[in-house]
Structure 1
């Protein structure tokens, strides 16, 4: 799909490398430009392999005048640059958009940073937990012992990577039509906020309680005799009535969604008392046969078999990873692939 596209990656850790790996899985030639010490993620070969398959690696010291000239020569023959420095660093190195555009007016240049290039917070060095703190997501994730929670899912890292991919593809389409390059400013905080539209829309429009799923007894995790299951019923009377029927709590079957929220503790207690009598396999079978939204609370190792059957796993010399998740009828993404050695390629 992207076999004629060359991408230069000057980014470390998660967002930039994950973005370019998606492009590589779709056929782009991705050249990872690393300092002599390498991407700091190389200390963990497994994690490094999760974001750097199907890439080439070259070593350039961008503070060295000779290596900087080599970088400019690569720019002349490339289509996309993805950089992940704090705002201002690329300019100090001489690899910012205004500079590289002199060598290639059609270049598509994507910067991924914590808060964007024009934020009042742009000087702060951050990782995902810091962005989620500023964005309010740590509070949305719940409070334990009066301390907001880190959700332990890197929402801003990977959402910013995905939004960067979308933006780059849009810019490539635009360039096909106009011949013009583009500068793309992706903020991890903006991306995280855009990834929780239910919560953000509610909070910004004065209805923050609307998205408090934790007060809905139909949208909860319940303990079974040997594990846990989740229910996933929103304001859906047909699913709710099915649940009440099979659990034999039909006195709740016709109450409104609002009343379910108001009587949360009472109803949750009743449901919990009943579900705890069943093994996970037993209650799962009942819920499935009666068309009720549910999930088994697996360990990730349990979920691997489902992913394997879908055919989306990537195999490398360093282990097994989850590859690009969409399946096409007429194209197969390059999920498997070599992980580059530091400076192991010539371009």
Structure 2
């Protein structure tokens, strides 16, 4: 690097982690094929994880394995414990009990080894605002021990694949929110990490920017990388190989998107009425088991289309809209918890008790 001052810039992503000044030094990222852990071992593993903040029990005995080459999503409302679990894996937090390993390394005792092999995109931007986009990427490559030439080559590749060529010379502080998120992803990928952590990574992105973002993430996974992402949006989790639903600090369901949807046990009838509470009460009186969400009254049935005519004919309140659809991940969460994951506008559900966002 050009100077020691630049090497220890306070805005380096490492500076966000207490006790980690030694990590801002040239370090060689291992090729994915030469990791110390066998291909059959989990990329991430949690055993008996608990995290307490005073009286708040944010994580309550998490056991979880994420496999190499897997795109894994942690889905849940704000306050469910997503960021707490994410932060423990990413060496940002120490668990109160239990252990977390990344690529076979303990996230507390061997955190430097973990950080050498991971990339991360935080919820909030961590860019060097006065540096250009190109220099942000180049500098991150140098932090990870790439040669100047290799860092420039890799930066140029990412500028193209993430649609950032037109803003490569622009100061990071002058970018739009969506552009900043794409630069964050590029920085996380510049050294080709073995594990990529994404914490609510597409906040603020428009449709086109999201498409570019996820295309590059999928390319990374197809090349053998492992992705661990947190989100409270269903469409963010849908492309994942497996999804864990988390609520009140506990994993309440785990499986592929289709496996989770199969747990609903049928199709879904959605009713928007003048009085959803009254409609739900009537349905319960007639042997059904409805749930109320911000979208309306949801009723799971083996053949919802067959139930619809009777409901419309006898429901004591006016029905403004009725539709039948295949189960969604939100329907799964609603069935398991009795609460909606999101409201009708796609906003996160109200903050739950017992965890961090």
TM-score, reference length from structure 1: 0.27
More contact order relative to length (CA 8 Å, sep ≥ 6): 2
Which structure dedicates a bigger proportion of its chain to helix?
1
Which structure dedicates a bigger proportion of its chain to strand?
2
Bigger radius of gyration among the two? 1
TM-score, reference length from structure 2: 0.27
